[in-house]
Amino acid sequence: MKFQIKKLSLGFLITYSLFFFISCEKEFDTVIDVQKSSYQVVSVSPKDSVLFNVEDSSLVIRIEFTPASLISSVTAEIINPAGKSFLNDALTLYDNGKSENGDQTANDKIFSNKIFMKSNDLNGNYNIKFYVNENSAQSKLAAWSTFKFRNGQSNVAPIISNALVDPDTVVVTDTIPILTSLVVQDENGLNDIKEVYFIVYRPDGSTNNNKVFLYDDGNLTLNGDQTAGDGIYSRIISVNQTNAKGTYRFEFKAVDRGGLQSNIINYPVLIQ
pLDDT in tens, 80-131: 988 889 998 899 999 999 999 999 999 999 999 999 999 888 888 999 999 9
Q: What percent of the chain shows pLDDT beyond 90? A: 64
Residue-level pLDDT at 82: 85
CATH number for position 249: 2.60.40.3880
Choose the final residue of a domain: 126, 150, 174: 150
- Residue spans of alpha helices (H) in 38-99: none
pLDDT number for residue 55: 85
How many separate domains does the chain show?
A: 2
Mean predicted lDDT score pLDDT of the chain: 86
Q: Which pLDDT band, with edges at 50, 70 and 90, does 142 fall under?
A: very high
253 and 199 in a common domain: yes
Within-domain flag for 49: yes
Say yes or no: 76 and 138 in one domain: yes
- The per-residue pLDDT for 7 is 43
85 with 111, same domain: the answer is yes
Phi first, then psi, for residue 3 (nearest 5°) are -110, 140
Q: Is 24 a residue whose pLDDT tops 90?
A: no
Cα–Cα distance between 12 and 18 in angstroms, integer? Answer: 12
> What is the pLDDT at residue 155?
85
5 is a domain residue: no
243 part of a folded domain: yes
CA distance 178 to 167: 6
How many Cα atoms sit within 13 Å of 34 on the Cβ side?
A: 6
Same domain, yes or no, for 60 and 145? yes
The confidence score (pLDDT) of residue 12 equals 42
Average pLDDT over residues 50-64: 91
Most confident listed range (42-56, 125-139, 161-175):
161-175
Give the 3-state secondary structure percentages of the chain, helix then strand then coil, rounded to 5.
5, 45, 50
Its sign, for the CA torsion 144, 65, 131, 78, is positive
pLDDT score of 29: 56
The pLDDT assigned to 8 comes to 54
Band of residue 2 on the pLDDT scale cut at 50, 70, 90: very low
Same domain, 140 and 174: no
Q: Does the structure show a pLDDT above 50 at 3?
A: no
Domain identity same for 134 and 167: no
Is the pTM for the entire model greater than 0.75? no
80 in a structural domain:
yes
Please tell me whether residues 170 and 266 are part of one structural domain.
yes
68 and 166 in a common domain: no
Residue 266 and residue 253 in contact, taking contact as beta carbons nearer than 8 Å: no
pLDDT band at 21 (very low <50, low <70, confident <90, very high): very low
- Does a structural domain hold residue 23? no
**Per-residue pLDDT tens digits for 221-242:** 989 999 999 999 999 999 999 9
pLDDT-based confidence at 48, cuts 50/70/90?
A: confident
Q: Are residues 161 and 263 in the same domain?
A: yes
Residue 63 counted as domain residue: yes
186, 145: one domain:
no
Residues 189, 96: Cα–Cα separation, whole Å:
39
Do 145 and 159 share a domain, yes or no?
A: no
pLDDT recorded at residue 16: 33
| Residue type present at position 146 | T
Is residue 3 situated within a structural domain?
A: no
Of 115, 150, 185, the last residue of a domain is: 150
The answer to whether 162 touches 254, Cβ cutoff 8 Å, is: no
Q: Is 172 left (phi over 0), alpha (psi -120 to 50) or beta?
A: beta
Query: 170 and 239 in one domain?
Result: yes
In a domain, 24, yes or no: no
Residue 119: what pLDDT? 87
Q: What backbone phi and psi angles, to 5 degrees, belong to 11?
A: -60, -40
Give me the CATH number covering residue 80. Answer: 2.60.40.1220
Determine the pLDDT at residue 4.
37
Q: Who has greater pLDDT, 7 or 42?
A: 42
Instruction: Please say which residue of 93, 126, 150 terminates a domain.
Output: 150
Q: How far is CA 47 from CA 26, 77, 259, in A?
A: 10, 15, 21
Can you tell me the mean pLDDT for 152-164?
A: 92
For 82-139, list the strands marked E by DSSP: 91-93, 110-116, 124-133
Domain extent, residue 63, equals 32-150
Percent pLDDT > 70 in the chain is 85
Q: How confident is the model at residue 257 (pLDDT cuts 50, 70, 90)?
A: confident
